[in-house]
Every structure is written in C-alpha cells, then in structure tokens.
Amino acid sequence: MTKIAPSILSADFSKLKNEIQDVEQGGADYIHVDVMDGHFVPNITIGPLIVESIKPYTGLPLDVHLMIENPDKYIPVFAEAGASIITVHQETCPHLHRTIQLIKSHDVKTGVVINPATPAEMIRDILQEVDLVLLMTVNPGFGGQAFIPEVLQKVKQIAAWRENRQLNFEIEVDGGINQKTAELCAEAGADVLVAGSAVFKQENRRKAIEEIACAAGKAE
C-alpha cells in the first residue's frame, strides 16, 4: 500500500496543529517537514522549534527533509526536537557515509535525497545504509511546481538496485504529486508520495489523500 506524506509547507501555518491533525485523521502516513535554509535552496522555512512544537500533537512519524548546507551541524537538534526520519541531500554531504552514521547515532531513521539533475549513481553505494531514498521530482525550494517526468527513470533504477541487492529502504518522491503523477510514481516503484498542494490546498483533506492513494493503488 503506497504511503502518503502531506508536506506542511503548503499548510496554513496560523493553525498548524489543526492542519496536522486534519491530515492525520484523513489517513496520512507521515508528516513531511521541509527545512530550508535560504542557501542550499532559495527559501527559508522551518527550524527545530517548529518540529518540537508539533511533535506532541501527532502520532505520525515526522519525516524531516533537510534542504540545508552543513546538515551535520543541525542533525542533533532535529533529532532532539522529535524527528522520526532525517533525510539529507547527497549534494550537501561531502562525507555522506559519515553523515548517515551521525543520524543513526541519534536513533533516528536515515534518508538520502537527490535533486532531479543528480544521477542515481551518486547514491548507489550508500543504499545499504539507509531506510529511505527520496527522489525530488521538482527542484527543491517551493511547493506548487510542475512534476519533472524524467525522474521516473531514476525511481525505476533505484527500485531495480533495491531488488537486485535485496535491500529494503522505502522510495519516496516529492514535488508535483497529484492523482496523475501518483500513479506514474507508484508504477515506477515509489512507496511514499509527498504531497503539499494536492492535500493542503484542498478543502477536504481526507478525500484528497484517498484520491491520491487510490490513483497510486491502480499501479500496485
């Protein structure tokens, strides 16, 4: 069953607690938290204080995506704040293996992510160490962008490596996910779909989540 991870970047921040509880009751599997620093990506968003303040109000795993330079410096505070999964960009980690070990040392699940233009080969040799591989289907920085279909080939490639090497990380995709692209991603091998606008910009979040999950289910 494909999991749905609503991205709170598209939520109404003036009532974030209610927004999170709404998607939890609507059937979400993870709460996706986009952390941006204004350097690695051209936007500034959420810090550990927000993670800490939402943690008591949801039973769902907090899936924290660090779009920041020098992630090693901030992994301990995000772990302490309540992150369940911490995902770092290969592009920001010159010593990726060491960074993944740092996340593990905080008893948090580990994720690695690549941008649309980064080849899958860049993370091939770290796959045995991670719980989640995130493939960006837009250039990170903003919600509401158009899906980049060329990434589907990478989803297939990573899924094939996972099968050949008998690994069991989850494959997550993020950016421009809607009913149409959800089906394509699930077909290619994605297990977790991050959706911002397609969930939070809809009045009925349960219906939005069900429709995306149902579209993905057609491919299963």
Ligand X SMILES: O=C(CO)[C@@H](O)[C@H](O)COP(=O)(O)O
Catalytic residues: 34, 174
9 binds ligand X (CB under 6 A): yes
Q: Which stretch binds ligand X (CB under 6 A): 3-11, 22-30, 55-63, 150-158?
A: 3-11
The residues in 51-70 that bind ligand X, with binding defined as CB under 6 A, are 65
Q: Tell whether residue 95 is among the known ligand binding residues.
A: no
* Residue 111: HSE in the Cβ half-sphere, 13 Å Cα cutoff: 26
Token code pair at residue 92? 């920001």
CB of 166 to ligand X, least distance (A): 30
Structure tokens at 162: 């996972």
Distances (CA, A) of 202 to 6, 12, 23, 198: 12, 12, 11, 7
152 makes contact with ligand X (CB under 6 A): no
Q: Residue 14, annotated ligand binder?
A: no
Q: Which of 19, 22, 29, 34 binds ligand X (CB under 6 A)?
A: 34
Q: For residues 147 and 4, what is the distance between their CA atoms, to the nearest angstrom?
A: 17
Which amino acid makes up residue 204? Answer: N
Q: Is 198 in the site for ligand X (CB under 6 A)?
A: yes
Q: d(Cα 142, Cα 146) in Å, to the nearest integer?
A: 11
32 is in an annotated binding site: yes
- Tell whether residue 90 is a contact of ligand X (CB under 6 A): no
**145 sits near ligand X (criterion: CB under 6 A):** yes
Nearest to 76 by CA among 107, 33, 114, 38: 107
Q: Which residues bind ligand X (CB under 6 A)?
A: 7, 9-10, 32, 34, 65, 138, 140-145, 174-177, 194-198
- The binding site for a divalent metal cation comprises 32, 34, 65, 174
